[in-house]
Structure 1
Amino acid sequence: MHFLRRSLVGIFLLATTLALFAWAGNTVRLAVQERMNAEPRSFPQRERVQVVNVVQVTPDTITPELQVFGELGSTNTFDVRALTGGTVLDLSENFVTGGRVDAGEMLVRIDPRDAQSARDRTAADLRDAEAEVRDAERASRLQQDEVTAAQQQATLRAQALRRQRDLSERGVGTAAAIEAAELALSSADQAVLSRRQALAQAQARLDQAATRLDRARLNLADADRALGDTEIRAPFTGILEDVSIAKGLRVTANERLGRLIDSAKLEVAFRLSTAQYARLVEDSGTLPQAPVTVTLDAQGFTLTATGHITREGASVGEGQTGRLVFARLDNTAGFRPGDFVTVTVREPALHDVAKVPATAIAANDTALMLDPDNRLIEVAVDLLRRQGNDVIIRAPRLYGKQIVAERSPLLGAGIAVQPIDAAAAAPPDAADPADAPRMVTLDPDRRAGMIAFVQSAPMPDPVKTRLLDQLQQDEVPWDVVARLEARMGT
């Protein structure tokens, strides 16, 4: 009985196992048939739409600015030199490198004893010359009186000769008396001639004395100037540099003692390219007095000065290009000659132009404009200026239209895009527009496709719920849309 019972149990288990294998095989067969007979799953193919940033092209009158680098220099400098040799007796306490001096301030005083002695000798020579002139004037006056007396004597002798001739005509006079009167008149004329010659000599002496007097006065003026040259004074208010002198040293004439710079009269020299110069120059060929702004950045502090262009270099210079231009500065507080600064020059205004981001213009000077169906159209533009990260263009076809702000290799003519105008999307009272997420509005088909993809995608339930909630909103974050479309392969 025991054997029979165990045999029946074994047969039962074997039958049950075979039945289970048969059921499993049938299940697999049915699943394979259903899979093979089922229609293949397909997704609707849609055109891929790129999300792009756009800007509005608005015509305006813009004043371009070009930026170059320049170096400051002073228009008023003075080399402090010793005008006469000698020992330095006194120095101003401000006569040091970096010292500020006022106009007329005594800087250096050189030993004046030699110059004073020379001046005194010249003054003595002047007094001698003045005395000589006085003597010559007196002698000239005396000689003039002698000439006058001699002429009077000759007149009397002539009258005596006429009387003797009258007497001879009446038969009273004699020939001997007439001859004696003629000899007396001849002697008187000879005396007049002698006195006139002496007067001429006296006048020549007076002229020579006057010449010596003028020469003595000139020598005295030179001596006074040489004495004044022993004191060197500041011709204007400025700052000293390169001072190389000390009290007690002996200097020679024309030796350089330092340099005085007027820091209030500065100009900047900068070089423009030929194209930049051509944009500034007027039709008459002259350079206008365009306004300039000079800035100097120093560890967070910015010094600024304004001015205007005054002149340009006469030649280009060996090994140089462009044009060297100079601009006079108005307010130079804090600036010093030798500073390397940034110069901003305002060009003539451009009318009927627009400013757009530089990334909106391709290398072939074209922009991508959006048509009413949000498809891209390539439009040629006239690139006029580059202003930092922006460019100034002239393109009447684009005025009032939207263009792509950031070109990329994926964008081209005919491509459909979803525009995002950052300027229009940003709320006016946003605290920080750069931190706000960019939002897009989805059309019904695009929204339904994304919802179906999220529902069928293998992802955690909390993530799926959050994405479905975001897709149900009127506006969806742009980064969420871009991430889902990348995973969908559209």
Structure 2
Amino acid sequence: MRYRKILIPVGVVLFSVLVASLLRATKQQAVINPDEERVWSVETTSVRIGDERPNVHLFGKIIAGRQANLRSLSAGVVVSVSSNFIDGGKVVEGEKLIAIDPFVAERKLLEQEALLSEAKSRYEELLVTRSSDLALLGEEQQQLDIAQSDLSRYEELESGVASKQKVDEKRLGASQAKGVVLSRQQQVSVLNTKIQQQQAVIDRHDASRERAVEDFENTQMYAPFDGYLTDIKAAQGMQLKSGDFVARLIDADRLEVRIFLSNSQFGRMFASSSSFPPLEIKWNVGETEFLFDATIERMESQIDSSLGGVHVYARLGSGASESFLRPGAIVNVLAQDRVYENVVRLPEEVLYDEDTVYVVIKGRLRKRHVSVVGRDENYVLLRGALLEGDLVVLTRFDGIGEGVAARSLP
């Protein structure tokens, strides 16, 4: 019994050794062929040579194409404000924004109207006086004519018929009548001068009244155009002085995007035409994308050579005014590049060392030298030793090179 317990484990071990030896002895040896070559399966794309006009991807900043700093034109206490007079509030042209206490301006207007009325009354008085004096002058002129005619008759009578005393009396009467006429003419002349002076007084008071009317109207502030309010600095009950800043109004219908173009980008975009190309504006807010059209209207008036480029300004289409787009937003700008003739458009991963691509010809990779003439997002525009229909390798792998065996995947 004791020997049986020992023989069983020993037998199992011996049996295992025997089986292992048998398997080792019957194992087939793999024949290694050192001349066997690996064939790489690669994805390819066919070459198509043609004209391409890629897009230029830029960034821009939304700015206000027109804005106005609203300032108080009258001094006083703000007695009321519009419900839209808040930061971001949308207002329309002619909408009343704030009202200033009109008491002082109203009193000044009444005072100027009273002074103007008084000046006009004085003017009418002078006209009436002149009219009366002119009527009296006519009567006095007739009396002078009669006196001079009477004197002439006495002077023509023969000596002895009319006494010298009588002639002297007639001469004195004519002289007195002439003095009265001259005095009346002087009074009329003075009245004409006073009337002219009074007309000047009326004009002065009328100008003062117009200023008073303007001051009174300036107690009400109205929106000069449609837009959005920002930088609100006034509130009901606040004391304002003339010229105080109260808010800034941004034109809702004239939003612009300010874009920087490098010298090369500017040159390419306007190489074939002097007109500005249309733009597509993308504004990303979270996962939502808003699209707008825009047209370049102008470039900056002065070019800073240290920047290596130029800023241009594009006006957004009418749809921007109905959106939530506001000045300060950063947007993506999509513009058309120049037309590249006789180029190949390929994914940028086909490019090695910026000047080499590989094509599959009769099961082998062949190197082709190319030059990059442009880019379009993740694509490159190439010119070089490529033929129409060539299969360019898309798959990248270690060991790629001239003469490597490869087959194109369907």
Instruction: Return the TM-score normalized by structure 1.
Output: 0.66
Equivalence for 2:326: 336
Q: Which has the higher helix share?
A: 1
Q: Which has the higher strand share?
A: 2
Mapped pair 1:297 → 2:284 = yes
Partners in 1 of 2:303 and 2:391 — Cα distance?
45
Mapped pair 1:107 → 2:107 = no
Partners in 2 of 1:239 and 1:290 — Cα distance?
29
Mapped pair 1:347 → 2:337 = yes
1:153 is displaced (CA, Å) by 4.4
SS in 2 for 1:247: coil
Equivalence for 2:224: 235
Question: What root-mean-square deviation, in Å, do the aligned CA atoms of Structure 1 and Structure 2 show?
Answer: 3.5
Q: Computing the radius of gyration over CA atoms, which structure comes out larger, 1 or 2?
A: 1
- CA 1:162 to 1:359, structure 2 compared with 1: closer, same or farther past 3 Å? farther
- CA 1:252 to 1:415, structure 2 compared with 1: closer, same or farther past 3 Å? same
Is the CA contact 1:79–1:256 (under 8 Å) kept in the aligned structure 2? yes
1:131 is displaced (CA, Å) by 0.7
Alignment of 1:347-426 (within 5 A): 347-363=337-353, 365-369=355-359, 376-381=366-371, 383-394=372-383, 398-405=387-394, 410-412=399-401, 415=403, 417-420=405-408, 425=410
Is the CA contact 2:270–2:338 (under 8 Å) kept in the aligned structure 1? no
- CA 1:192 to 1:402, structure 2 compared with 1: closer, same or farther past 3 Å? farther
Of 229, 250, 260, 2:239 maps to 250
Alignment of 1:312-331 (within 5 A): 312-317=299-304, 320-330=307-317, 331=319
Equivalence for 2:194: 205
Instruction: Return the TM-score normalized by structure 2.
Output: 0.78
Partners in 1 of 2:104 and 2:162 — Cα distance?
80
Structure 2 alignment gaps of length 5 or more: 1-30
- CA 1:162 to 1:250, structure 2 compared with 1: closer, same or farther past 3 Å? same
| Higher RCO (C-alpha under 8 Å, 6+ residues apart) | 2
Partners in 1 of 2:374 and 2:46 — Cα distance?
19
SS in 2 for 1:245: coil
Alignment of 1:48-59 (within 5 A): 51-59=41-49
- Deviation per CA, 1:280-305, whole angstroms, max 9, x where unpaired? 23678x5x332111212222111221
Instruction: Specify the code of the residue in structure 2 equivalent to 1:139.
Output: T
SS in 2 for 1:398: coil
Of 43, 59, 76, 1:69 maps to 59
Is the CA contact 1:293–1:306 (under 8 Å) kept in the aligned structure 2? yes
Query: How many aligned positions are there?
Result: 377
1:351 is displaced (CA, Å) by 4.3
Instruction: Specify the code of the residue in structure 2 equivalent to 1:77.
Output: Q
- CA 1:63 to 1:137, structure 2 compared with 1: closer, same or farther past 3 Å? farther
- CA 1:198 to 1:50, structure 2 compared with 1: closer, same or farther past 3 Å? same
Identity value in percent: 25
Equivalence for 1:455: none
- CA 1:389 to 1:154, structure 2 compared with 1: closer, same or farther past 3 Å? same
Structure 1 alignment gaps of length 5 or more: 1-40, 426-490
Partners in 1 of 2:343 and 2:384 — Cα distance?
7
- Deviation per CA, 1:118-158, whole angstroms, max 9, x where unpaired? 11111111111111221122233334334444544454455
Equivalence for 2:261: 272
SS in 1 for 2:43: strand
Partners in 1 of 2:160 and 2:48 — Cα distance?
135
Instruction: Specify the code of the residue in structure 2 equivalent to 1:251.
Output: L
Alignment of 1:126-145 (within 5 A): 126-145=116-135
